[in-house]
Structure 1
Amino acid sequence: MAHSPIRVGFIGLNPDSNWAATAHVPALKSLGDRFEIVGVANSSPESGKRTAEALGLKHAFDTPADLVASPEVDLVVVTVKVPFHFELVSLALNAGKHVYCEWPLGNGLEEAKTLAALAEEKGVVAVAGTQARAAPEILHLKTLIEDGYVGKMLSTSLIGTGGNWADQTSAALYYLFDARNGAKMEDIPMAHTLAAVKDVLGDFGPLDATLGFNFETVKITDTNDEKPKTAADQVMVQGKLKSGAAFSLHYKGGTNRGTNFLWEINGTEGDIQVTAGLGHAQMVQLTVKGARGEEKVLSDQMPDPSVYKGKPEFPGARNVAGIYARLADDIENGTRTAPTFAEGVALHEVLDVIAKSAAAKA
């Protein structure tokens, strides 16, 4: 049965520079006629008009309230900074719209809980953008584990770099370094990666965390100003998964000349390593290698090349497309296969445990 395209309205879309343009727009275009981007609302009417003209959109709404009220918008996509998620997502949900909200869902656990409850009350499809969960490599890795590639899992360990959260940044990204904004290293690259870990290996058990602050200020490269830095640049977590397997993690601010992403899974029958050039599992190309039984050297364990055909080349867009495909199925079939707000709350709960454990040591 043919379905009309799902009509999408973006809150926060700049045609030149931001995540919505580099990941969401190509993701939607890759899905053919399942979606149609019909409009945008930005921080000002002028900005919205520039975007609509550049992308050939039907509507440039003056305000987000105008966008969510439009009968020509079925799905509201919120791709602004985290502190604005709660207000804008609430606005869309109260208008009865389906919602795709970029991760983090809210600025902390309580906002996420409130949004999830509202989404449940309204009965709409409400998706939290944890797109690493849709990465072809993560889906393939989940199958490998389920098929017993490593046997009984004994331990898993992670090292990742955040790119940001070290000692310098641009003025546009300085908000990441203020812990009050809910966009810390734990909240973004680490949480995206933990969402994938949870899908592949199951729920987390008891966790203990420590935060490190090598830098108290950050240099703004645009202006040479020094500003306060309250977000950690080192995050260390250890504990267990619900399965009993040991778990350890270390996320580092910035990048380094050594390991920028390594996820290892060790079991009684085999071992797997997942590597990448940055700790943002949601937006980088992941490489999967493994060995089992009598094998002594890790070998390629990537998905079949056919799974990449017809999908965006940029891994971030490819993974976002995977979420949108599930979202379309959910709207059309009444299912809940895309990451739900309730699942977003569960991830926020893990972050809350980590934050409270670290705070107890401060």
Structure 2
Amino acid sequence: MVIKVGVVGGSGWAKVSHLPALAGLTAFEVTAVATTKRESAERVAAEHGVPLAFADAGALVAHPDVELVVVSVRAPEHTKVIRAALEAGKHVLSEWPLTVDSAEADELAEAATAAGVAHAVCLQGVHAPDVRFVADLVAGDRIGRLEAAIMVASGGPLGGATIAPELAWGAEPTGGNTVLTIMAGHFLATLERMAGPLAEVSARLPRLYDRVTVAGTGETVANRVPNQVLIHGTLHGGATASVTVHGASGPPDGFLIKLVGSGGTLTATPPRPGTYMHWTDWDISIDGERANVPDTYRTVPFHPTDGPVANIAAVYQEFAQAIGEGRSPHPDFHTAARHHRLLAAIERAAHTGTTEEIS
């Protein structure tokens, strides 16, 4: 069975990630794209060989040749499109974050279950081959009992003193596009896939700049979001967790993951500069000895050097398999809602100076 897909927001992020990923998978056929302007929708459709182009997301959702609606617009606009898709009885795959409010994320999860459709959120690090390999090593006691999980990563180009013009709207918390919601959101999902879920957190969210410069313009805009994310916590298994996501004005400068166990230490770093942990393959070692990811973990027709396309393709592969097996894709809206509660707990912990349990 081929799943017919309509992509809402086809001229932005989806153009360089979702559309190429779908083009490489035989289980899907992109039948429609929608943008806010007819001209851009038709241009994207022509570039990707898509038969239908819309300037109205509602028209795409209602079309009979769309079975799965992909939501790849700005986060504040997600809920409207998702609700329309659920009311139309269509499957939904939403970009992360699911929405901009934790309570609303819970409501969307319940609505998706009530609609009886397949629903998923694009936290693609969960399906990265290297992440799944490390998760299996930890679960298989390759490093003994996990005692500590440490992660340091760059959140650039978010969180710095300068911001790109196309990202300036993210300087307001209502935009849902911050170093906490986007960068730490993806990175924490990746870490929890390997080390297990966080049970409690304490945090700091320093805001270093009241105003940030819009690159190339000399103008400044008010900044009401954090520039850094500092988290300490414990995992359900008892191990400690320490996470730092630092803002930067330019591209990311790498990451370091250390999983310390009673029988060894696993370390992961990027093989190439300028990429994020949920986009790329990793250099993995245990006590200084390289651990190579078996080819069996690489299940999509893309290479890690293709950037985010490879792991997003893995999300779609999981979606198709879940539908074929009559189960919910992972991560689904309920997982996304729990992840929103995690980020909300981090914000409360930073505000109150207390330790917050993750519901």
**TM-score strictly above 0.5:** yes
How far apart, in 1, do the equivalents of 2:59 and 2:210 lie? 42
Q: For 1:141, which of 134, 137, 151 is the aligned residue?
A: 134
- Check conservation: 2:172, 2:225, Cα contact below 8 A: yes
Give the letter aligned to residue 146 of structure 1.
A
- Corresponding position: 1:105 with 2:98: yes
Cross-structure match for 2:302: 311
**How far off its partner does 1:305 sit?**
4.2
Q: Quick check: 1:336 aligned with 2:328?
A: yes
Residues 268 and 356 of structure 1: CA distance in aligned 2, closer, same or farther (over 3 Å)? same
Are 2:4 and 1:7 equivalent residues in the alignment? yes
CA contact (8 A) 1:261 1:278 kept: no
CA drift of 1:27 comes to: 1.3
Which residue in 2 is equivalent to 1:214? 208
Change (3 A) 1:68 1:256: closer
Cα displacement (A) at 1:81? 0.9
Give the alignment's Cα RMSD to 1 decimal.
Answer: 2.0
With over 3 angstroms needed to count, the CA separation of the structure-2 counterparts of 1:220 and 1:258, relative to structure 1, is closer
Q: Cα distance, 1:53 vs. partner? A: 2.1
Q: Residues 89-116 of structure 1: CA distance to partner in whole angstroms, max 9, x if unpaired?
A: 1111111100110000110211211111
Shift of 1:122: 0.2
Matched-pair identity in % = 27
Runs of 4+ in 1 over 6 A off after TM superposition: 255-259
Quick check: 2:19–2:48 contact (8 Å CA) kept in 1? no
Unaligned runs of 5+ in 2: 355-359
Correspondence 1:229 to 2:223 = yes
Distance 2:255 2:162 in 1: 21
Length, aligned pairs only: 349
Residue by residue over 1:212-262, the C-alpha shift from the partner in whole angstroms, topping out at 9 and shown as x without a partner, is 122221111132211111111111110211111111111100179997311
Mapped to 2, the partners of 1:84 and 1:259 lie a distance apart of 30
Larger deviation, residues 156-165 vs 134-143: 156-165
Residue 72 (structure 1) aligned with residue 65 (structure 2): yes
Q: CA deviation at 1:338?
A: 2.6
Change in Cα spacing, 1:247 to 1:307, as seen in structure 2 (3 Å) is closer
Question: 1:151 aligned to 2:144?
Answer: yes
Instruction: Map residues 24-35 of structure 1 onto 2, 5 A cutoff.
Output: 24-31=18-25, 33-35=26-28
8 A Cα contact 1:219 1:225, kept in partner:
yes
Among 265, 272, 286, which residue is 1:290 paired with? 286
Contact 1:285 1:315 in 2 (8 A): no
How far does the alpha carbon of each residue in 1:275-317 deviate from its partner, in whole angstroms, 9 at most, with x for none?
13467322233322112xxxxxx12213124644732442311
| CA distance, structure 1, for counterparts of residue 337 and residue 105 of structure 2 | 6
Q: Secondary structure at the match of 2:17?
A: helix
Distance of 1:67 and 1:258 partners within structure 2: 35
1:160-199 mapped onto 2 (5 Å cutoff): 160-163=153-156, 164-199=158-193
Q: Per-residue deviation at 1:333?
A: 2.5
The residue type paired with residue 333 of structure 1 is: E
Aligned with 1:349 (options 331, 341, 344): 341
| Equivalent residue letter for 1:52 | A
Contact 2:148 2:239 survives alignment (8 Å): yes
Cross-structure match for 1:294: none
TM-score by length of 1: 0.91
**Whole-Å separation in 2 of the counterparts to 1:240 and 1:328:** 34
Task: Say which SS state the counterpart of residue 120 (structure 2) adopts.
Answer: strand
Please state if 1:301 is matched with 2:294.
no
TM-score by length of 2: 0.92
Structure 1 residues 26, 347: closer, same or farther in 2, change over 3 A?
Answer: same
Cα distance in structure 1, aligned partners of 2:169 and 2:282? 28
CA-to-partner distance for each residue in 1:113-138, whole Å, 9 max, x for gaps?
11111100001001111000010000
**Partner Cα distance (2:261, 2:275) in 1:** 23
Q: 1:331–1:8: structure 2 CA closer, same or farther, 3 Å change rule?
A: same
Cα distance in 2 for residues equivalent to 1:268 and 1:290: 12
Q: Which residue of the other structure, out of 295, 316, 324, is the alignment partner of 1:324? A: 316
Contact 1:133/1:195 (8 A) holds in 2: yes
- Tell whether the 8 Å contact from 1:28 to 1:321 is kept in structure 2 after alignment: yes
Show structure 1 runs of 5+ residues with no match. Answer: 292-297
Range that drifts further, 127-136 or 50-59? 50-59
Contact 2:132–2:297 (CA<8 Å) still a contact in 1?
no
Does 66-75 or 49-58 show the bigger shift? 49-58
- Cα pair 2:200 2:235 within 8 Å, conserved: yes
- Tell me: CA distance 1:257–1:299, structure 2 relative to 1, closer, same or farther (3 Å): farther
Q: Whole-Å Cα distance in 1 between the matches of residues 46 and 13 of structure 2? A: 19
2 CA distance for matches of 1:175 and 1:300?
A: 42
For 2:58 and 2:321, locate their aligned partners in 1 and report how far apart those are by CA, in whole Å.
27
Deviates more, 1:119-128 or 1:282-291: 282-291
CA distance in 2, matches of 1:127, 1:205: 23
